[in-house]
Amino acid sequence: MFPKSIIICRMTKSNEIKGVFAAALTPLNPDYSPSLESIPLYLDFLACRGCHGALILGTTGEGPSFSLKERVSIMQAAIKVREAHPQFQLLAGTGTPSLEETINLTRTAFQFGMDGVVVLPPYYYRSAEDDGLFFWYASLMRRAVPEGAALFGYHIPAVSGVPLSLDLISRLLEGFPKQFAGIKDSSGDPLHAKALGERFGEHLAVFSGNDRLFSLALENAAAGCITALANLISPKLRMLWQAYQQGEELEPIQGILSKGRAIIDNYPPAPSLLKYLVSELFDFDRWPVRPPLLPLPDHATETVMSDAVALDIT
């Protein structure tokens, strides 16, 4: 299942991982198997629309719905985007409830040349204490993350049920300064975004997972964003990123992003909505979602398209 020797490899400094990342969709065939030939084509589309990189196998990419063998094949397919876009940065979601499986996936991700991994906490035991979570992440980094490679914790408590506390983050950063690079913050909580900036500043690479909070996160030392909306309006996310770098006004662009996020939040689950809109607006196949997710219901399509056209997301 896990390749024993892989010649593809690159090491990206964690402080070089920044900017606008798409929480990329995973193209599927009608039988729900990964459409491996479509994956690099879709990542090429994201690169051409202004994304600095993409996270594959995250929540929007339905990562936990795939077997370990499928995840490896998806990573291998994704790397092909570098043939056309050698600087395009790739992060892989490698977290599972099993420490051993997470170790194997993480090793494989770095062997394939991923720039970093984004790792959910072990999400079955929701009462796990910080000491246990620290031991879990510490074991992972000692056994699977080379020095200088980048591991990002994934803070999405509404989905995982296991928050990554500020104290836990501090312990991981102190204990593994050359491996623990940062956090994908998908809490959607503006107070938490501010707290991360106040406590860690630029010592921790924080990626906002909520488009509504992108400008706030940047103003609180965030390194960028990894969002579902980047599948649709990454040019506007890139505009906000550039405006921040140049000290320009952020609110007009942020207003558009907030309206776009509202569309996603109004029609959950996000992969179903996004796969519909990507097919309608950008001429990709209508990729299915994996059960237990269901496709966007027919009765919602007209309203969704009306909202998307009003936002001018193309």
Q: How far is CA 273 from CA 175, 269, 296, 305, in A?
A: 40, 7, 6, 10
DSSP class per residue in 153-191: EEE-HHHHS----HHHHHHHHHH-TTTEEEEEE-S--HH
- Secondary structure element (H or E) that encloses residue 56, with its range: strand 53-56
Q: Is 32 a catalytic residue?
A: no
Choose, from 12, 18, 42, 59, the residue flagged as catalytic: 59
Contact between 181 and 157 under an 8 Å Cβ cutoff? The reply is: no
Burial 143-177 (b: 16+ CB within 10 A, else e): ebbeeebbbbbbbbbeebebbbeeebbebbbeebe
Q: Tell me how far apart the alpha carbons of residues 297 and 165 are, in angstroms, rounded to a whole number.
A: 37
Q: Is 125 a catalytic residue?
A: no
Q: How far is CA 66 from CA 29, 165, 279, 289, in A?
A: 13, 28, 22, 11
Choose, from 154, 244, 267, 276, the residue flagged as catalytic: 154
Choose, from 42, 102, 184, 276, the residue flagged as catalytic: 184
Nearest residue to 236 via CA among 14, 90, 22: 22
Q: Is 184 a catalytic residue?
A: yes
**Residue whose pair of structure tokens reads 């790739």 in the numeric block:** 90
The residues carrying an active-site annotation are 59, 124, 154, 184
